[in-house]
Chain A
Amino acid sequence: MIRDPKDLKRYDAGERANHWVVGISFILLALSGLAFFHPAFFPLTQLFGGGTWARILHPYIGVFMAFFFVLLFLRFRKLNKMTDADREWLSRAKEMMDGNDHNMPEQGKYNGGQKMMFWWMTICMVAMTVSGVFIWKAQFTVPIDLARIGAVVHAVVGAIMIAMIMVHVYAAIWTKGTIRAMWYGTVTRAWAKQHHRAWYRQMTGK
């Protein structure tokens, strides 16, 4: 695909790769995790070579994801500082959802919703990693009550995370012209101006 040279660079190759490493890991974790979460999803273990393999792989993928998420976090944490404009945006998110984005306050590279997603993801990621260690029987032995807490936290937070990621993915699909940012790194100026005007101004000087 020939891209417009005037398109704006949103993510460089490293950022994109990091995102997808985390993203793919998450999908694998969600699939294998769901398999243990509810009997209805147990057949998903077949994707991993059966129940035992799913049990073996899941925590290692988790560790892998946690590591790359840390990199992702370091890359993006500064861009995700909440501002008054973000709060304003959040308070009027319903208008946005209804498709009326005309009067939404100007947003920088990320809007309030995305930033919230970032921080919630970070919290969940920590919770998942720690609780995951508690219930990783093959590697760690912790007091039984800690394991029980770990199991509940892992299950609840896991579900929340999957829901959040579903929202994350849907938002990318819903907002046309977004996904390409993570495929090949650029967005159109119109997209930027429409959704992240402050960033657009910063990038174009207009």
Chain B
Amino acid sequence: MALQSLDIKQRSATTTPSPQARQTMEIAKLIDVSACIGCKACQVACMEWNDVRDEVGSCHGIYDNPVDLTENSWTVMRYAEVEEQGKLEWLIRKDGCMHCSDPGCLKACPSPGAIIQYANGIVDFNQENCIGCGYCVTGCPFNVPRISKKDSKAYKCTLCSDRVAVNQAPACAKACPTGAIQFGSKEDMKDYAAKRITDLKERGYDKAGLYDPAGVGGTHVMYVLHHADKPNLYSGLPANPSISSLVTMWKGATKPLAALALAGVALGSLFHYVMKGPNEGSKEIEKEIEKEDAQ
């Protein structure tokens, strides 16, 4: 949902810069996986604040429900039972939009203003402008956007841009009973994470660290992981996410090059015509034919 109260940093399918005079603080949500008990209060808070409800599903033999992100479930908990060095761990990760600094969805989107990145870092979908092509799904390195079967619009976590715009923390952070979801300026969140990481290291998690992947320019949803060296343990969190080179190719060089090439062909044809002249019918042959006819 686009909000005029937030400055826009960039918008999809727009080649000119957005207003940049005002300086806005970058915000971030920090998900401390080491403090998450997987209660799903965040899921319910998300449903309630955003007024979205999935169908009542079924149990798939795991705790995950709904079992995947959908147009109505913008965040889901993913539960992974792993045994690290003989010690059982239940790694519970809140999955959802990471709000990349370099958002693949926005890059891929062909519709001007359907995806916007606010100056504070939130990447938001404006369903008004969404044409339902699903290119954002193709562009996302985290497999987050979902296209609604009902209206063919793309949906995902808005980081509660409507709440943030009025200085409120996202609904999930507000609802979290263990403090596993923190919200504030990105800088503060990094400081907070550093403290948590120090604590985790003291508790024997040598590889504890912050997940703020550089491959997408950093994210505005970050994780504190006990095993930052193995993000994959956390239900397949990508170790080095980046916008697929295919997408970069598609939305990067291809576009201007091809546009230029097309213009080249068009202009080339024109100038060929102008310079070489048309390929007129040969008078000689016409005469030959006339001659033949006369015979």
Contact = CB atoms under 8 A, between A and B. Distances in A.
Asked if the two chains touch in their complex, CB atoms less than 8 Å apart, one says: yes
B246 to A, nearest CB: 4
Given A55-B131, A135-B138, A155 B15 contact: no
Contacts of B112: 39, 42
Contacts of A174: 269, 272-273, 278-279
B20 interface: no
A137 interface: yes
A37 B246 CA distance: 15
Interface stretch (A9-17, A94-102, A114-122): A94-102
A190 B281 contact: yes
A28 interface: no
A193 B110 contact: no
Interface centre among B14, B249, B273, B285 (most CB of A within 10 A): B285
Given A152-B249, A163-B265, A166-B266, A191 B279 contact: no
Query: Chain A CB within 10 Å — which of B249, B265, B293 has the most?
Result: B265
Given A39-B15, A166-B269, A55 B249 contact: no
B88 interface: no
B134 A135 contact: yes
A144 B272 contact: no
Q: B interface, how many residues as a size bin?
A: 35 or more
B248 to A, nearest CB: 10
A36 to B, nearest CB: 4
A103 interface: no
A159 B281 contact: no
Contacts of B256: 38
Given A54-B131, A163-B265, A167-B269, A37 B258 contact: yes
Contact of A193 (B262, B273, B285): B285
A138 B152 contact: yes
B261 interface: yes
A121 B138 CA distance: 27
Given A147-B138, A176-B278, A159 B132 contact: no
Contacts of B147: 137-138
Interface in A99-158: 99, 101, 135, 137-138, 144-145, 147-149, 151-152, 155-156
B137 interface: yes
Interface string B255-295: 11011011001100100110011111110011011001100
Contacts of B138: 135, 144, 147-148, 151
Contacts of B143: 144
Given A6-B293, A37-B258, A144-B143, A188 B249 contact: no
Contacts of B14: 39
B134 A97 contact: no
Given A35-B110, A38-B255, A97 B272 contact: yes
A18 B15 CA distance: 39
A145 B140 CA distance: 11
B131 A51 contact: yes
Interface in B83-132: 108, 110-112, 129-132
Contact of A156 (B244, B254, B272, B285): B254
A159 B15 CA distance: 20
A177 B255 CA distance: 36
A76 to B, nearest CB: 22
Given A99-B276, A151-B138, A174-B273, A162 B246 contact: no
Given A135-B138, A176-B280, A194 B285 contact: yes
A137 B258 contact: no
B286 A190 contact: yes
Contacts of B282: 190, 194
Contact of A151 (B111, B246, B279): B246
A106 to B, nearest CB: 13
A45 B259 CA distance: 17
B81 to A, nearest CB: 26
B6 interface: no
Given A51-B131, A99-B277, 18 more contacts: A40-B15, A42-B13, A52-B132, A99-B279, A135-B134, A145-B246, A148-B244, A155-B250, A155-B254, A166-B262, A174-B272, A174-B278, A175-B279, A188-B281, A188-B286, A188-B289, A189-B289, A194-B285
